[in-house]
């Protein structure tokens, strides 16, 4: 299902240093940003979309989010190429398709009833009424586009394939008094990797289904442009809002704000590499609970020759028999006479690695289920039951590699967030922003330009 763009702030905002001016008295406008007007009509439509995802969204939130999207997107475009901001990889949708999908989803949310009525008014009560010709993709057509079936390392079309796909009209239609076509190249270009894979598998039904979806999108866009009453300026504003939000999302990902802390993000990696020992230590001291480790455990065990014997012993323990008494009775280990006592096992004790690997994750006071262990050197494997009596916790060393990594990643993330907020504050402080005070009543008006 197409995602509906929620035009509210992507991240929690910090107060800006200077507020936009609430001095715009034109009843047709919601805001003016560096001389560029944003109409109340466009904001009303975007507010309707936002409320479908978050009913409590206010008009001021929408206005300020659109303004901030515009400012951040403009800044991002001046710093990074568009290809870095709106993903254009071999797996996902092309940028133009991402924009079109979001825009159509928004229009469907804004005008769901009206568009449905318009479709119903077409011949036959559906979009088949505007289709003038369908041409299924036959085996010979696939052959012209893809050539002979072969293993491909990358799903793409060569020049000859593109020409053949462009020449194959899957659907012809008449819309708004104009003739139009959906070609096989249009269908191919609108796919992500899973869709391209189905086309390379020569799935003719899928190709026709996707052509129909493209027709539906074009119908929505045409209806909004020519029959909805939305002005050309407002249509441009609505389109730009989608583009700006995609760019803003891309920028927050590029600088690491919305990237996973362990992702291969170049900006985060550079910030993490520059984190100083003093910063690591400061983070460590402020977040010591993140660096707790088990220093040692005190445990007992019962060793048995086979699975059946181990299960019988485990069943007796489950009925409440004393662990030490049972160990003295049935354990084959040297520790049987001491009730199975292993004593304290220290972190990093490799003398009994199989014990450590289990004992350090087992909850104190619980008896493990029987597990198979290597046994003594050179001997047959045996079965063990383990009881952890006590666990002592401590902290990882501040100069350990694990602390350096975790703290470095966290500090890098904090710096990326700071960069985000600093950029936002600077843009709000240095941009000429005028807002219509009539849309910011006392209940909704945010302080200092904060989009709540």
Bigger pLDDT: 215 or 155?
215
Residues 86-107 have pLDDT tens digits of 876 656 889 999 999 999 999 9
Boundary (domain end) residue, out of 181, 212, 227: 227
Question: What's the mean per-residue pLDDT of the chain?
Answer: 90
Q: Which of 341 and 354 is assigned the larger pLDDT?
A: 341
Q: What is the pLDDT of residue 22?
A: 93
Is there a single domain that holds both residue 365 and residue 293? yes
| pLDDT tens digits, 219-269 | 999 999 999 999 999 999 999 999 999 999 999 999 999 887 777 889 999
Size (the chain), residues: 452
Whether residue 5 is predicted with pLDDT greater than 90 in this model: the reply is no
- Is the pLDDT higher at 126 or at 348? 126
Rounded average pLDDT over 125-140: 97
32-36, 92-96, 343-347, 352-356: range with lowest mean pLDDT? 352-356
Tell me, yes or no, whether 213 lies in a domain.
yes
Among 30-39, 67-76, 142-151, 382-391, the range scoring the smallest mean pLDDT is 142-151
What's residue 348's pLDDT?
A: 72
The C-alpha atoms of residue 234 and residue 60 are separated, in whole angstroms, by 18
Q: What separation in angstroms does the CA of 67 have from each of 237, 296, 299, 338?
A: 11, 56, 62, 74
Does residue 361 belong to any structural domain of this protein? yes
Instruction: State if pTM tops 0.95.
Output: no
**Number of independent structural domains in the chain:** 2
Check residue 11 and give its pLDDT: 42
For residue 376, pLDDT over 70 is answered with: no
- The predicted-structure confidence for 310-337, as pLDDT tens digits, reads as follows 999 999 999 999 999 999 999 999 999 9
End residue of a domain, out of 180, 207, 227? 227
CA distance 212 to 173: 11
Q: What is the CATH classification number for the domain harbouring 350?
A: 3.10.50.40
Same domain, 211 and 126: yes
CA distance readout (Å), 205 to 40, 92, 222: 44, 22, 26
For residue 154, give every residue at least 6 positions away whose Cβ sits within 8 Å of its Cβ, in sequence order, or none: 90
Nearest to 5 by CA among 76, 57, 75, 72: 57
Indicate if 204 and 119 belong to the same structural domain.
Answer: yes
In this structure, the answer to whether residues 130 and 215 fall within a common structural domain is: yes
Q: Residue 370: give the domain boundaries.
A: 289-395
- Report d(CA 386, CA 400) in Å as an integer: 30
SS3 111: coil
Q: DSSP secondary-structure letter at 304? A: E
Q: Which of 395, 410, 439 is a domain's end point?
A: 395
Which pLDDT score is estimated for 31? 97
Strand-pairing partners, residue 386, are: 301
Q: 133 and 219 share a domain?
A: yes
Domain presence at residue 323? yes
Domain assignment present for residue 268? The answer is no
pLDDT of 10 higher than 60? no
Question: Does 142 reside within a domain?
Answer: yes
Residue 430 located in a structural domain: no
Alpha carbons within 13 A on the beta-carbon side of 42: 24
Clarify whether residues 294 and 217 are in a common domain.
no
pLDDT one-digit tens code per residue, 13-65: 434 445 689 999 999 999 999 999 999 999 999 999 999 999 999 999 999 99
Calpha distance 276→274 (Å, rounded): 6
Predicted pLDDT of residue 351 = 57
pLDDT of 201 reads: 94
What angle (nearest 5°) sits at the alpha carbon of residue 259, between those of residues 257 and 264?
125
If you search the block for the tokens 């597990």, which residue do you land on?
Answer: 371
Is 20 among the domain residues? Answer: no
- The tens digit of pLDDT for each residue in 153-175 reads 678 899 999 999 999 999 999 99
The answer, yes or no, to whether residue 12 has pLDDT greater than 60, is no
Contact assessment for residue 45 and residue 237, using Cβ atoms and an 8 Å cutoff: no
| DSSP bridge pairs for 345 | 297
218 and 123 within one domain = yes
User: What pLDDT is stored for residue 8 in this prediction?
Assistant: 35
Neighbours of 10 (CB within 10 A): 18
- Asked if the structure places residue 351 within a domain, the reply is yes
Yes or no: say if 170 and 135 are a contact pair by the CB < 8 Å rule.
Answer: yes
- pLDDT tens profile 379-390: 678 999 999 999
pLDDT tens readout for residues 389-448: 999 999 999 999 999 999 999 999 999 999 999 999 999 999 999 999 999 974 444 433
């Amino acid at each position: 299902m197409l995602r509906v763009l929620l035009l509210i702030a992507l991240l929690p905002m910090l107060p800006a240093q200077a507020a936009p001016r609430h001095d715009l008295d034109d009843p047709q406008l919601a805001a003016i940003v560096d001389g560029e007007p944003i109409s109340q009509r466009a904001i009303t439509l975007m507010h309707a979309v936002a409320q479908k995802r978050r009913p409590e969204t206010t008009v001021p939130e929408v206005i300020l989010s659109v303004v901030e999207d515009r400012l951040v997107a403009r800044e991002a475009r001046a710093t990074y190429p568009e290809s870095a901001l709106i993903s254009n990889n071999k797996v996902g949708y092309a940028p133009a398709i991402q924009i079109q999908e979001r825009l159509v989803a928004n229009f469907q949310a804004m005008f769901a009833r009206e568009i449905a009525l318009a479709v119903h008014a077409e011949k036959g009560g559906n979009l088949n009424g505007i289709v003038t010709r369908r041409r299924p993709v036959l085996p010979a057509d696939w052959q012209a586009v893809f050539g002979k079936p072969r293993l491909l390392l990358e799903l793409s079309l060569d020049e000859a394939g593109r020409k053949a796909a462009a020449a194959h009209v899957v659907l012809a239609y008449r819309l708004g008094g104009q003739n139009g076509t959906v070609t096989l190249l249009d269908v191919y270009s609108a796919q992500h990797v899973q869709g391209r894979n189905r086309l390379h598998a020569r799935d003719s039904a899928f190709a026709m289904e996707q052509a129909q979806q493209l027709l539906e999108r074009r119908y929505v866009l045409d209806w909004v442009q020519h029959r909805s009453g939305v002005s050309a300026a407002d249509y441009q504003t609505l389109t730009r809002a989608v583009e700006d939000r995609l760019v803003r999302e891309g920028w927050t990902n590029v600088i690491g704000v919305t990237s996973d802390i362990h992702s291969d993000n170049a900006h985060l990696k550079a910030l993490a590499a520059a984190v100083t020992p003093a910063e690591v230590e400061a983070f460590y001291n402020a977040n010591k609970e993140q660096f707790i480790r088990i220093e040692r455990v005190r445990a007992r065990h019962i060793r048995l020759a086979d699975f059946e014997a181990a299960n019988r012993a485990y069943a007796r323990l489950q009925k409440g028999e004393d662990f030490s008494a049972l160990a003295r009775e049935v354990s084959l280990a040297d520790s049987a006479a001491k009730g199975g006592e292993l004593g304290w096992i220290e972190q990093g004790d490799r003398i009994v690695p199989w014990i450590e690997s289990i004992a350090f994750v087992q909850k104190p006071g619980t008896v493990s289920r029987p597990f198979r262990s290597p046994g003594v050197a050179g001997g047959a494997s045996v079965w063990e039951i383990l009881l952890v009596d006590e666990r002592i916790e401590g902290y990882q060393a501040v100069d350990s590699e694990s602390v350096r990594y975790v703290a470095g990643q966290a500090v890098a993330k904090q710096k990326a967030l700071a960069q985000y907020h600093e950029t936002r504050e600077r843009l709000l402080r240095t941009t000429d922003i005028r807002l219509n005070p009539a849309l910011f009543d006392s209940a909704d008006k945010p302080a200092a330009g904060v989009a709540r």
